[in-house]
Chains A and B, each alone.
Chain A
Amino acid sequence: MSELTMVESVCFALDEELGRNSKLVILGEDVGPNGGVFRATQGLLEKHGPKRVLDTPLSENGIIGFAIGMSLMGLTPVAEIQFVDFIYPAFDQLISEAAKFRYRSGGMFTTPMVIRSPYGGGVRGAHYHSQSPEAYFTHTPGLKVVIPSTPYETKGLLTSAMREDDPVIFLEPKRLYRAFKEEVPKGDYTIPLGEARKVRVGGDVTLLAYGAMVHVALEAANIASTNHQIECEVIDLRTLVPLDIKTIEKSVKKTGRMISITEAPKTSGFSAELSALVAERWIEYMEGPIMRVTGYDTPFPLSLEQEYLPTAQRTLETIMKVYNF
């Protein structure tokens, strides 16, 4: 057993799965000798060889399109998009191709693959190294969307993603890459997609989050408990598609209050989906407004990044508002 950071856990999961699945191929920019700009593929080229770890031309539509072709012919491509902010040139390949192959061919052709990419703010990366575009992908039938929140979670979820029969967008909260270490076991363990994780138990307010925001929610929940004797239940969604609606149901029926915390812009964000789901189904259980704590509807800033991102402070104020409604 060893303590690993999240980015080491990514690498560990890739390394082990390369060992187990001889058809798995890693491709992307700088994933070879450099081991990835964040070192998520460190040492993999040396260990698994140049046929399996490919530095590609600098072309995101090329990386995803090439991966789709590999997948159609039976390989398991795991593509790295260096920063998710650069995935937009590959949108056509993701939305029109990977997400639709199974459906459009009546189930004849499938494109299982993983697209890994660091996302999110908090690292002083400005517009083009900080975005949270998960809603584009959750809005696209045919894609699964997974976002881990700890090193242990990362290995289990990524391993599952690499065994899925569908294309999976795997977004890694880069501000957590080296934020803390955690025990990450060796060997074959998986966390099934579509099952949320209860991070903190509480009966007063349900906080829904994923990625880095799980830690913000947790921090707010602890302050609410210590200072205001309000007990929040914190749920790490882990997978946005498919979503674990049962865990959400149990929690909101118990607490009667729900807040989602996401760092993407507010309008049409995934938090809006969460609010709508809960309102449509369980409005009669609700004792306060269903609220969102999100990034603002602006391009991602730089100097004022900490003002833009949801914080424990903002979350706490929202908790008080909902609780005292």
Chain B
Amino acid sequence: MSMIKILDSTGKADPELEPNISKEKLVKMLEYMILVRLLDEKGMRLQRQGRISFSIPSTGQEATQIGAVAALSPEDWIFPAYREPGMAFYRGLPLEDLVNHWFINEKDPQKGRRLPGLFGSKQFRYVNPSAPIGTQIIQAAGAGYAHKYLSENLVDIVFFGDGATSSSDFHSGLNFGAVFKTPTIFFCQNNQWAISVPLSRQTGATSLVDKAQGYGLPGVQVDGNDILAVYNVVKEAVKRAKAGDGPTFIEAVTYRAGPHTSSDDPTRYRPKEELEKWKKLDPISRFEKYLRAKGYITQEGIEEIRSSFDNKLNNLISEAEKLKPPSLKTLFSDVYSELPWHLEEQFNELNALKGRNA
């Protein structure tokens, strides 16, 4: 099985495969790749400064998330793992929501309940992720069944890492998806590592894409640092799903250029040379070269994109930091659709205690 590639490292596109995407859209794709990298830098810095508790970078994996979201329609549903935040912003999720979530303040849409970086949005059809690895894979298959049942012409795309391919929900997800021919796209971000554990400890198979065959699914391996190639394979998978031909398994070969999270130090376990090798394949610089050669963007234009996001984020951060934590009530709300007596009682107890100590 050969890997699908369109852009070479100099940013030249294979004319046979180059997708026909408008200039506006191509520039938008670059903008959101730049945003993702900027968010990583900001998030890590804020975490190091002790201003937020946690950060999950996706540096090096910008092409998978943005290439995929660009190939979907806005009505399609996304089940992210946690390295796909750009998809939500590409669709319009306000950065304010993210920054308030980082600071787990009273305006955090998730009411300050999640580790920074684990967020979802119903409005933008970006399903709220959990933390246990792999659980979303089977859920996306079930969601696909629902779309089919309701005769909605929608697809679900679900993201997960190479480590997640060892989970039981990976197996059940691909299995159920294949059995019920759901309109689901299984998108594996093979970034070579699961924290410190290399791919060779996740599988004895030569490559992850080979797993598709065992489920009776078509599998495609794509250069995950090539945004045009990602765009094409997702488009193709969407077409299959919408035609009623069922799921596709996509293995995007990429690299986690940063640490696993703000709590991780990758120098403990992986060789420098590996990072150096992958840096040459950086997804953003490749795409920039492509767009510059087309005359769609200039170096100044790129810097402008960065600084305009940067200013916006700085303002949001200084606002978000001033806000209070969510109200005490939010500790007890949303456990159930209504507040049962025992939670009301526990709230009253805590509230009274707070009152006495105020």
Contacts and interface: CB of A to CB of B under 8 A. Distances in A.
Q: Do A and B come from one complex?
A: yes
Interface of A: 23, 25, 51, 54, 56-57, 59, 61-62, 65-75, 77, 89, 92-93, 96-97, 100-110, 141-142, 144, 164-166, 194, 241-243, 245
Given A68-B138, A194-B340, 11 more contacts: A23-B149, A51-B149, A57-B172, A57-B175, A57-B176, A66-B176, A73-B142, A96-B130, A97-B135, A105-B128, A106-B110
Nearest to B118: A104
Interface string B83-109: 000000000000000000000000011
Given A74-B146, A108-B120, A142 B335 contact: yes
Contact of B135 (A70, A93, A142, A245): A93
B181 to A, nearest CB: 12
A104 B169 contact: no
Contacts of B156: 69
Leading 8 A-B pairs by shortest Cβ distance: A69-B142, A65-B138, A62-B172, A73-B146, A165-B337, A66-B142, A105-B128, A69-B143
Given A65-B139, A69-B138, A69-B140, A109 B172 contact: no
Contacts of B146: 69-70, 72-75
Interface of B: 77, 108-111, 113-114, 120-122, 127-128, 130-132, 135, 137-147, 149-150, 156, 168-169, 171-173, 175-176, 179-180, 333-337, 340-342
12 contacts: A57-B175, A57-B179, A59-B171, A65-B172, A72-B146, A75-B149, A96-B132, A97-B135, A102-B335, A104-B128, A108-B109, A241-B340
Contacts of A72: 127, 139, 142-143, 146
Which of B77, B121, B127, B171 has the most A CB atoms < 10 Å from its CB? B127
B127 A109 contact: yes
A69 B148 CA distance: 12
A103 B334 contact: yes
Nearest to A102: B334
Interface centre among B131, B132, B142 (most CB of A within 10 A): B142
Among A59, A66, A108, A109, the most chain B Cβ lie within 10 Å of the Cβ of: A66
Contacts of A69: 138-146, 156
Contacts of B138: 61-62, 65-66, 68-69, 93
A100 B128 CA distance: 11
Contacts of B131: 96
B169 A73 contact: no
Given A62-B176, A66-B145, A144 B139 contact: no
Contacts of B144: 69
B94 to A, nearest CB: 15
B170 to A, nearest CB: 11
Contacts of B121: 108
Contacts of B139: 65-66, 68-69, 72, 97
A71 to B, nearest CB: 8
